[in-house]
């Protein structure tokens, strides 16, 4: 074979490899004590790690075209914008203190951050109010959702939430932002364009520390986990609570499948991924998992669910049809969150 044919053969092989990789998809996993682990979904093999140029990466999201990965880096109060082709940070954009949750919609990233954050573990369930409030209420400034224009490369405005915002979701029409505020036990609904508070839902009568929040694929229902209530709330499209559903201990991440047939809930303390019928809310299955599993995503073809389990240093791969764990992928340094490209349903992301 002459040199020209060798070059053509090599180029074709490279193109085939790139196409196969793109078709199967890729997962990105943040680890709180490291960077981002990249996993080829065709083989479930780790293909590399990304240095995010900051400590404490947690929330992450992918742009619609898959060209950029957006990662919140807690210690420097920024997001890192990563070119997915080169896996290099191309920009860091200041957000504010303690950024955590990231959602990407269009050219904007919505990033929760906490001006009054002091760090340290959360209070234990059942702690006395005085103990929980010992930090001094005067310092508990409400959290913000920083709105970052990715084209301009800067924060353009912000929406004021409640203390310690945890979850961020969009309404089906994209006009409203729904956020969970764990410190004051509220779910607040905001007009994205104006930032105006539209509605506040008090959760204390149902349970404390609202965490995950997801809208159903048809846009008619929202579900939100209550970590210290061992429940999730079912909320209608007018933001009225219509039902509570019992879960295992300390539920966190929550998501629907793309068809809206099931609701999935990650139970931290009981080490389960629970499956519920999305119409009747009857529990269908408890799937035993690992230790401190908070966030998860489907794969783009929905054949597997990928669950990040921090204290197990692993990504659990769950067969969606069989509803059982099929393998574990080693991911060190406290894996926190996971998303895929092509985009998929999950506790940190969604597909249109």
> In terms of Cα–Cα distance, which of 238, 235, 199, 185 is closest to 214?
235
The pTM score is 0.89
Q: What is the pLDDT of residue 141?
A: 80
- Is residue 310 helix, strand or coil? helix
Residues 58, 332: Cα–Cα separation, whole Å: 14
For the chain of 352 residues, list the mean pLDDT of each consecutive stretch of 10: 42 39 81 96 97 94 98 96 97 96 96 73 48 46 94 96 92 97 96 96 97 98 98 98 98 98 97 98 98 97 97 98 98 97 98 87
Q: What is the pLDDT of residue 115?
A: 82
Residues 198, 134: Cα–Cα separation, whole Å: 30
Residues 103, 111: Cα–Cα separation, whole Å: 7
DSSP category for residue 346: B
Residues 140, 260: Cα–Cα separation, whole Å: 37
Q: What is the pLDDT of residue 16?
A: 37
Domains and CATH numbers, the chain: 26-118+141-160 (2.130.10.10)
Q: What is the pLDDT of residue 327?
A: 98
Q: What is the pLDDT of residue 239?
A: 98
Q: What is the pLDDT of residue 124?
A: 54
| Sheet with 251-256: strands ordered across | 251-256, 262-267, 272-277, 283-288
> In terms of Cα–Cα distance, which of 122, 119, 125, 120 is closest to 250?
125
Residues 248, 252: Cα–Cα separation, whole Å: 10
Q: What is the pLDDT of residue 134?
A: 41
* DSSP-assigned states of every residue in 104-173: EETTEEEEEE-TT---SPPPPTT--HHHHTTT-GGG-PPPEEEEEETTTTEEEEEEE--SSEEEEEE-TT
């Amino acid at each position: 074979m002459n040199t020209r044919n060798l070059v053509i053969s090599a180029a074709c092989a490279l193109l085939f490899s790139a196409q196969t990789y793109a078709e199967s998809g890729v997962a990105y996993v943040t680890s709180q004590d490291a960077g981002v682990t990249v996993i080829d979904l065709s083989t479930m093999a780790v293909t590399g790690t990304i240095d995010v140029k900051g400590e404490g990466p947690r929330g992450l999201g992918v742009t619609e075209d898959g060209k950029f990965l957006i990662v919140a880096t807690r210690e420097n109060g920024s997001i890192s914008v990563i070119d997915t082709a080169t896996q290099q940070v191309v920009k860091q954009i200041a957000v504010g203190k303690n950024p955590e949750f990231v959602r990407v919609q269009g050219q904007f990233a919505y990033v929760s951050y906490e001006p009054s954050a002091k760090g340290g573990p959360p209070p234990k369930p059942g702690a006395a109010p005085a103990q929980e409030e010992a930090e001094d209420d005067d310092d508990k400034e409400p959290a913000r959702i920083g709105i970052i224009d990715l084209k301009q490369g800067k924060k353009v405005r912000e929406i004021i939430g409640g203390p310690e915002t945890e979850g961020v979701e969009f309404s089906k029409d994209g006009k409203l932002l729904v956020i969970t505020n764990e410190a004051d036990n509220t779910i607040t609904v905001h007009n994205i364009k104006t930032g105006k508070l539209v509605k506040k839902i008090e959760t204390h009568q149902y349970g404390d520390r609202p965490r995950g929040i997801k809208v159903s694929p048809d846009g008619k229902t929202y579900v939100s986990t209550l970590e210290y209530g061992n429940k999730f709330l079912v909320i209608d499209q007018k933001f009225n609570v219509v039902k509570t559903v019992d879960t295992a201990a300390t539920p966190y991440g929550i998501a629907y499948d793309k068809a809206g047939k099931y609701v999935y809930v990650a139970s931290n303390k009981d080490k389960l991924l629970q499956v519920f019928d999305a119409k009747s809310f009857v529990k269908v299955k408890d799937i035993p998992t690992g230790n401190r599993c908070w966030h998860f995503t489907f794969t783009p073809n929905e054949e597997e669910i990928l669950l990040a389990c921090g204290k197990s240093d692993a990504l659990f791969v769950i067969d969606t049809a069989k509803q059982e764990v099929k393998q574990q992928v080693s991911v060190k340094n406290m894996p926190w969150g996971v998303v895929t490209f092509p985009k998929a349903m999950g506790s940190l992301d969604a597909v249109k």
